[in-house]
Amino acid sequence: MTMPQQPQVNVNISQPPLPPQQPPVRQSNLRTKRSLLKYVLLGLVTFGIYDIWQMSEVSETLNLIATRRDGKRTMHYCLMFFLVGWLTLGIGWLVWYHKLSGRIGVEQAARGLPVTVTAATYWLWNILGSLIIVGPFIYTYKLLHAMNDLCADYNARG
């Protein structure tokens, strides 16, 4: 007994070639114009409100840039500033800045940028440097410029 053969159908459908894939368009570029002068002067004029906003923006931007790679989240600065810092009698601020600075340094290294901010930068310039008065200004300068570099790299390479 022979099995019946199934009919073969040759269908040749010509499809137009797919257009080349474009990289996804980002909705907006991250800010790269942070400066110490603006941070100090606007902080004085707004009685510290600009400083709180700026550090909130730094924490949000770092989460946007680094979370995809390291899977961590930095606590929002407003939560730390208004609640955690006061409840822990200042220890929350020390821990938050230590972690933020370390995370910035790790992200700079991962992106191949020169590492300018680390946890040691925070402890040496912001804490010990406060003895020579200009230390916290140097730390803030380094922090803001490191974030500018990270944002410029993110804008260029994603």
Sequence-distant (≥ 6) Cβ neighbours of residue 113 within 8 angstroms:
149, 150, 153
User: For residue 8, is it within any domain?
Assistant: no
User: For residue 23, is it within any domain?
Assistant: no
User: For residue 61, is it within any domain?
Assistant: yes
- 38-52 pLDDT per residue, tens: 999 999 999 999 999
| pLDDT at res. 28 | 57
User: For residue 83, is it within any domain?
Assistant: yes
User: Which domain covers residue 65, as residue numbers?
Assistant: 36-157
User: For residue 98, is it within any domain?
Assistant: yes
C-alpha distance from residue 80 to each of 85, 104, 155 (Å) = 5, 18, 28
N residues, the chain:
158
Using 70 as the pLDDT threshold, list the residues of the chain that sit under it: 1-4, 6-28
User: For residue 152, is it within any domain?
Assistant: yes
The residue type at 110: A
User: For residue 110, is it within any domain?
Assistant: yes
The reported pTM is: 0.80
Q: Count up the domains in the chain and report the number.
A: 1
User: For residue 130, is it within any domain?
Assistant: yes
